Amino acid sequence: MIDRLSTEESILCNLMKWPDLYAKFKLKPYMFVDEDVSKIISYIVEVGKVNPNEIYFKCRDEQGFVNVDRLTQISKSKGTDLSFFMNDQINLLNDYVTRKAVEYSQGFLSNPNQTEYLYLLDQLNSLKDINIEQGNRTDEFLAEVMESVLSDKPKELIKTGYGLLDYKIYGFEKGQLNVIAARPSMGKTGFALNTMWNIAKSGYEVSFFSLETTGNLVVERLVAMIEGVPLSDIKRPTELSTENTNKVMNALNKIKQFNINIFDESHLTPSRIREQASKESDKPQVIFIDYLQLMTSDTPSNDRRVDVEKISRDLKIIANETGCVIVLLSQLNRGVESRNDKRPMMSDLKESGGIEADASMIFMLYRDDYYNRDEVHEDDKSELEVNVAKNKDGSTGVVKFEYYKSTQRFFT
């Protein structure tokens, strides 16, 4: 069962677990809607400190205060993390401001006149000035970089498993939003699954969200890739040889051995990704999403371009706040087809200019035989170019792969 907390409960939970956080507590008790949480916050503000034992005894002994079971349920929860404390306060403050603005506006609408209008403006202006001053974390950042430089422990980089590509990008880092972009049927899903499998074998938890195909099809592609059984054979199980049947069973057992989550969800929002990204883990989780243009915004508008850019920004924030790595697959627009050189550029990203700013790395996939099908090519083998078109912290350039379409395998 997933341990869920509201924003208000999350703030109180963090205060109970880490009492020293009270120095960074910026809210007022009246901003809380939850009556129990508001009572405890009021008591904390009154005494000027967080003493979990005193709060527990007050709940236990004082009739009409807060039920001790409710306090225990909140304070012992694993449904939040220290890193969310400031953002939770900001979100709660925003909710309070919005709530009061609606309340003031309704008061004016019940008695609309010039005097009430001016009073409304004053009230709204007073709300505008309410904010939370973020602490200066410069010393903290300096200490983290110093520790990283002086430490004997190497910086944690998540390798893709492809030597030439890792040489160029060094690997994925926690907090990144990375993009794999290509035209349909170019091989981006297969490339993502190969990369995911390599990362899973390195001991990281990986998740694959498929909006385009079912979970069964994702597993079939993984099986083909792991054991080299043609995907077309797996789709016709009655015609599988005994040898290939054994290989399929072997691949399924291998998948079970690693921490791999496969989801096929036709309606996927950033909040669902946050839920998965917030799982407790000793190592950064790597989440693959296939693909951006099929996702739904948590706050949809009438402009799809605005929605897609909002989704990409939300995913970047989620990666940064949770420390996971999100690998987002994206389609390219048809403009690439009208050029003589059909190798994609970042400006070809479909419905999203914002993704260029949000992404730490962008990989653009290209196959010459995709466009020149009349030329003689090996039936199965293709040369696929992976262009590292953007890399905030490293070099860019093209890495060439051998792509075997029947088995979904990639080799450098």
Tell me the C-alpha to C-alpha distance, in Å, between residue 220 and each of 223, 240, 290, 330. 5, 13, 16, 22
Instruction: Name residues of the chain where pLDDT drops below 70.
Output: 1-3, 129, 131-141, 144, 147-149, 151-154, 350-353, 373-379
| Per-residue confidence (pLDDT) for residue 1, from 0 to 100 | 40
Show the domains of the chain with their CATH numbers: 7-128 (1.10.860.10), 163-411 (3.40.50.300)
Place of tokens 């087809």: 337
Q: How many degrees, rounded to 5, is the angle at CA 345 between CA 341 and CA 349?
A: 125
Say whether pTM exceeds 0.85: no
Kindly report the number of other CB atoms within 10 A of residue 324's CB atom.
Answer: 27
| Per-residue confidence (pLDDT) for residue 2, from 0 to 100 | 46
Q: Which residues pair with 264 in a beta bridge?
A: 210
Phi, psi angle pair for 342, to nearest 5°:
-90, 15
| Per-residue confidence (pLDDT) for residue 405, from 0 to 100 | 86
Could you read off the pLDDT of 293-313 as tens digits, one per residue?
Answer: 888 887 787 888 888 888 888
Hey, what amino acid is at 122? Answer: D
Tell me the C-alpha to C-alpha distance, in Å, between residue 114 and each of 103, 108, 119, 120, 125. 18, 10, 9, 10, 17
Note whether 236 and 179 are within 8 A (CB): no
- Whether the ω angle into residue 404 lies within 30 degrees of 0, i.e. cis, is no
Note whether 116 and 47 are within 8 A (CB): no
Measured distance CA(320)–CA(174) in Å, rounded: 8
| Per-residue confidence (pLDDT) for residue 373, from 0 to 100 | 66
Measured distance CA(105)–CA(113) in Å, rounded: 12
Structure tokens at 254: 């291998």
Q: What is the 3-state secondary structure (H, E, C) of the chain?
A: CCCCCCHHHHHHHHHHHCHHHHHHCCCCHHHCCCHHHHHHHHHHHHHCCCCHHHHHHHHHHCCCCCCHHHHHHHHCCCCCCHHHHHHHHHHHHHHHHHHHHHHHHHHHHHCCCHHHHHHHHHHHHHHHCCCCCCCCCHHHHHHHHHHHHHCCCCCCCECCCCHHHHHHHCCECCCCEEEEEECCCCCHHHHHHHHHHHHHHCCCCEEEEECCCCHHHHHHHHHHHHHCCCHHHHCCHHHCCHHHHHHHHHHHHHHHHCCEEEEECCCCCHHHHHHHHCCCCCCCCEEEEECHHHCCCCCCCCCHHHHHHHHHHHHHHHHHHHCCEEEEEEEECHHHHHCCCCCCCHHHECCCCHHHHHCCEEEEEEEHHHHCCCCCCCCCEEEEEEEEEEECCCCCEEEEEEEECCCCEEEC
Q: Which residues pair with 206 in a beta bridge?
A: 260, 286
In terms of Cβ atoms closer than 10 Å to its own Cβ (0-12, 13-18, 19+), residue 133 is exposed
Measured distance CA(323)–CA(317) in Å, rounded: 10
